[in-house]
Amino acid sequence: MNYIGIDIGGTKCVAILGEESGGTWKIKEKIMFNTAGKTPANVLTKFDSFIKKITSEYKIEGIGISCGGPLDSKNGVILSPPNLPGWDEVRITEHFQSQWGIKTFLQNDANACALAEWKYGAGKDCKDMVFLTFGTGLGAGIIANGRLICGASNMAGEVGHIRLRKTGPVGYGKHGSFEGFCSGGGIAQLGVAAINAELKNGRSPKLLSVVNGDTKQITAKLIGNLADGGDDLCLRIYEKCGTMLGEGLSIIIDLLNPEAIVLGSIYMRSEHLLRAAAMRVIEKEALSYSRKACELRPAELGERLGDIAALSVATGEFKGVYNDGKTY
């Protein structure tokens, strides 16, 4: 069966035609374009052009939309995501359903990725699983007893907002938050702080020279690459990130008792720099029975994760559970 997946991000938008067969996805067609400088109407017009072409050639069973929150997934409304200025109260599922007569579903990106890894990736053997985005930001999608947990206002899983320290790098608008320590932006902030500490002690680190003194050019990927090359400062930065990751994961393990925590993006790329430090903390902090039942796993779907996440939403097979006990 054929489905259309739509991924709306602050940097780029993607639309995909995918065919599911035998528990795997085949990507048949795909378009990508920049989000910046485009109004919601501009973006929807581009998606409509893609859908018009696809529906002239294929029968489409459903459309799935993955987008950063906050969202009202139950009613199919994009509320006002901070990375999508101007996207206020956009009734996006209503738009596609009325325009094309195709069932359309909306989920935030963490939940969509959780569904994809649960059905097709690292969590497919689990009934209880947590997925962490661990990319530009940090969010979680929670699968409990084979169901996606959404919460009273569709905000379940916003673990990046948990404060781990009174001070520290900023994430989710909060100093010392889980996202502040464990995200691309947070690792870059740790890098700048480490440079400043080195300079204060009369040392000029390699990380500073690589960016020619421009700390705005520091990224988690750059720090990771230097750590892979043996740079001591960058290894210590990832050690700190891994330690804080362990603290955050210990909270999740104690609260949710999952079989697996699947981590995407940065962890998928740099597990070898993060896992040992995280596990040392988990061994000390998490309840032993819960800890022993849980595995840390890198996401399996790799660069295909975003595409398959949107397509997973399109199937409409998942069940989201709200505080009223109803599913959709």
The per-residue pLDDT for range 36-84, each reduced to its tens digit, is: 889 999 999 999 999 999 999 999 999 999 998 888 988 999 998 877 8
The tokens of 54 are what? Answer: 């696809």
CA dist 283 and 99 (Å) reads 53
CA dist 146 and 317 (Å) reads 11
129: left (phi over 0), alpha (psi -120 to 50) or beta: beta
pLDDT tens for each residue of 130-174: 999 998 889 999 999 999 998 888 889 999 999 999 999 999 889
CA-based nearest residue to 237, from 253, 210, 218, 252: 218
The tokens of 249 are what? Answer: 């994961």
CA dist 34 and 185 (Å) reads 21
Give the mean model confidence (pLDDT) for residues 277-294. Answer: 98
Residue 245 reports pLDDT greater than 80: yes
The tokens of 24 are what? Answer: 């795997």
CA dist 294 and 300 (Å) reads 17
Distance of CA 276 to the CA centre of its chain: 22
Question: What's the Cα-to-Cα distance from 85 to each of 68, 80, 81, 137, rounded to whole Å?
Answer: 12, 7, 7, 17
Residue ranges of domains in the chain, CATH in brackets: 2-115+304-318 (3.30.420.40), 126-299 (3.30.420.40)
